[in-house]
Amino acid sequence: MSTTVLHVEGMTCGHCKASVEKALKTLDGVQNASVNLDAKTVSIDYDPAVVDEGILKKAISDAGYEVK
Ligand SMILES: [Cu+2]
């Protein structure tokens, strides 16, 4: 299992937090996703044999947020 922390722009409230976490957790290979609104980051625990950072980033941008 790997952990990555991505910087995400545009998350402002609990709804944004839930949207980003849900978009990530529904992906195969993602164990957990946790947004820190103050830091504008999301910490993702994932299986690199199943999913990679490109897919994680795409899921976030598809949910309407910008990955830096
Ligand atoms: Cu919001």
- Answer whether 0.85 is exceeded by the pTM: yes
Q: Is residue 42 classed as helix, strand or coil in its secondary structure? A: strand
Chain mean pLDDT for the chain: 98
4, containing H or E segment: strand 2-9
pLDDT tens column, 58-67? 999 999 999 9
Residues flanking ion ligand 1, Cβ below 5 Å: 12-13, 15-16
pLDDT tens column, 17-30? 999 999 999 999 99
The closest alpha carbon to 43, from 17, 63, 61, belongs to: 17
Q: Distance, CA 15 to ligand 1 centroid (Å)?
A: 4
Q: Given pLDDT bands bounded at 50, 70 and 90, which one contains residue 8?
A: very high
CATH topology of domain 2-67: Alpha-Beta Plaits (3.30.70)
Q: Domain segments of the chain: what residues?
A: 2-67
Task: For the chain, give the percent of residues with pLDDT over 90.
Answer: 99
Q: Distance, CA 5 to ligand 1 centroid (Å)?
A: 20
